[in-house]
Amino acid sequence: MAQAPSHPAKTAVIAIGGNSLITDKDHQDVASQFNAVRETCKHIADMIERGWNVIITHGNGPQVGFILRRNELAAHEVHITPLDVIGADTQGSIGYMISQALDNEFTKRGIQRSVAAVVTQVLVDRNDPGFKNPTKGIGGFTDEASARQFEAQGWTVREDAGRGWRRMIASPQPLRIIELDAIKTLVANGFIVVGVGGGGIPVVQDEDGMLKGVFAVIDKDRASALLAAEMKVDLFLISTAVEKVALNYKKPNQVWLDRMTLSEAKQYYAEGHFLSGSMGPKVEAMIAFLEANPQGKGLITDPQHIVDALDGKTGTWIVADA
């Protein structure tokens, strides 16, 4: 049974990245994903044990890639799954993993909270310019020769952040979370919510108000920022592969950042410090959140340092200008 804290609690949206689900290329199977999720959920449970209400969002890029590959291998036997349905599939499977891992962690600790995973649609504009310029990597990384084969099939392909070649797909801006009221109701009644998985299932709305899935992928950090702003949360936390944000990342003059103001984040972003395939979308999401909700705070760190970061010992905090 859900049980909200007896005193007013702070609320956070926690966006967990791919490393929270798949630690490396040698641990991609479902059992390994479960292990990674369990480890991340220990740190989220630490936060909940301190009295936080949390809404968890997550990526799904590798899992979408796996299903696309299964589609290709099995196309001669069974029907191909449309991309919007693949998004729903991964929201369900990853939501199940997170829900079970948190439930079990709560049982160990004697925490009386319940978890609900919500399959979430997100409205986009059918005329979004992103549809004309696909920029979001989808599926696994490959070499150029294999990428050119995908290109011959009609895909846009591109070298992605020095990590290899990928198929690219439209990444329209999220406009409205369809299940927002359901998420609000669950949070108000003491539930820990898992939602907006993989950025949400992108849908467009016809003139008569009917929704329809589209061939696109919404950036999970953008969608998480929208959710955090709509929920007016106290904290928007992006859990990623690094403990802090850096300027000149992996260069001789690298500088780790403890804190950025909104203006500084905009400046560093404009100067090109954050790559589009790595930290760029995360900082962009923080900017969007703070512009919409200047009373909130942003935090970027890795899962194992969440509690230390909340205590001000590490992580990169992003705050509104004084």
Query: Among residues 95, 137, 140, 282, which one is catalytic?
Result: 282
| 10 is known as an active-site residue | no
Reply yes or no on whether 282 is catalytic: yes
Annotated catalytic residue, options 139, 195, 199, 220: 220
Ranges assigned E (strand) in 83-222: 114-117, 121-123, 136-142, 156-159, 165-169, 176-177, 191-194, 201-205, 211-213
What letter would DSSP give residue 294? T
Active-site option among 59, 61, 130, 136: 136
From the list 10, 19, 71, 266, the catalytic residue is: 19
Our answer to whether residue 266 is catalytic in this structure is no
- Known catalytic residue: 251? no
Half-sphere exposure of 70 (CA within 13 A, CB side): 12
Rounded-to-integer distance, Cα 6 and Cα 276, Å: 42
Other C-beta atoms closer than 10 Å to the C-beta of 24 total: 9
Is residue 87 helix, strand or coil?
helix
CA distance 317 to 319: 6
Contact 295, 281 (CB under 8 A): no
CA distance linking residue 169 with residue 130, whole number of Å: 9
Q: CA 140, 276, 156 angle in degrees (round to 5)?
A: 50
Residues 6 or more apart whose CB falls under 8 angstroms from that of 60 comprise 87, 90, 91, 94, 197, 198, 220
DSSP symbols for 56-78: EEE--HHHHHHHHHHHHHHTTTS
Catalytic residue among 10, 18, 71, 266: 18
Dist. CA 304–CA 286, nearest whole Å: 21
Coil, helix or strand for 14? strand
Three-state SS string over 211-255 comes to EEECCCCCCHHHHHHHHHHHHCCCEEEEECCCCCEEECCCCCCCE
Residues noted as catalytic: 18-19, 136, 220, 282
